[in-house]
Amino acid sequence: MASFIDYLRLVKFSHTIFAMPFALISFVYAWKTCDTSSLSLPLLLLQVVGCMVFARNVAMGFNRWADRKIDAQNPRTASREIPAGVVSPRAALWFVAVNALCFIFLASTINTLTAALSPVALAVVMFYSYCKRFTSLAHLVLGLSLGIAPVGAYLSVAGEFAAAPCILSLLVMTWCGGFDIIYALQDAEFDRSHSLHSIPSRFSARTSLAISIGLHAVSVAALVWFAGYLPRHWLLYAGCGLFAAIIVLEHILVTPSRQRNIGIAFGTLNGLASTLLAVCLIADMTI
């Protein structure tokens, strides 16, 4: 029987660091700009974090289940929990179902809008798992899946849509789409030989990285746009500068002829970028 740790590995729980900081930024922004006198913010924060965890478990668990046969054929992914026999496909589906129910239930305890949109959010994050079978834009669908987080966090507090969290979602979508293209360079040849769609399997490494740079340029522009809604303390400039610098470093480390640093660029640098940005922007809003 699979252990709790096996399920955490199945969904790469450590990668929650990518979207969670942006949800927290949006949550604090809503707290500082909306009337929250009738809300219990500590409880609401726990609800938002819980929804984030459950939704991501659904997304990753379903992705691993949907890709189990593909992963088994790819030497890079054959050791993942389902193809390796650590977690059975049936157990993975049960894990997805339980987390989906928990997400919908928890979202329904926040407000009517989050309750109504919770199935839509799950549909988006699960739809991504099949995108590489028919479109090279799968990277942006993955970005959209993560980009839901800041909008959802804002809706949890405000109960209505606003421009600022949508700009933050644009940042997350293009940032994630850009670094997922870099990550997909590892499987370009495998994807071509198995008729799977991705930017690296369709274009050369040079063109793929150019597209990634273009998406990341949009990310930085969206960050500057979002920064216009925030107080202008030095922390704001420090956070934006650090985020942009880390993205530049990512593209210095990974080039068409040098791809051995993809793991560092994908995991370490992007986790650092989102965390430092959140610390600086949250401090900027609360000082």
Q: What pLDDT does residue 2 have?
A: 77
Q: What is the CATH number of the domain that holds 252?
A: 1.10.357.140
By CB neighbour count within 10 A (0-12 exposed, 13-18 middle, 19+ buried), where does 173 fall? Answer: buried
Which is it for the CA torsion 272, 152, 13, 125, positive or negative? negative
Q: Which stretches of the chain drop beneath a pLDDT of 70? A: 1
Q: What pLDDT does residue 95 have?
A: 97
Q: Which domain holds residue 29?
A: 4-286
| Contact present, 17 and 71 (Cβ < 8 Å) | no
Question: For 72-100, what is each residue's pLDDT tens digit?
Answer: 999 999 999 999 999 999 999 999 999 99
Tokens in use for 181?
């293209």
Question: For 250-284, what is each residue's pLDDT tens digit?
Answer: 999 999 999 999 988 888 899 999 999 999 999 99
pTM here?
0.95
Number of domains in the chain: 1
| Contact present, 274 and 17 (Cβ < 8 Å) | yes
d(C-alpha 119, C-alpha 100), whole Å: 9
| H or E stretch at 240 | helix 234-253
Q: What pLDDT does residue 1 have?
A: 67
Using alpha carbons, select from 162, 58, 38 the residue that is nearest to residue 118. Answer: 58
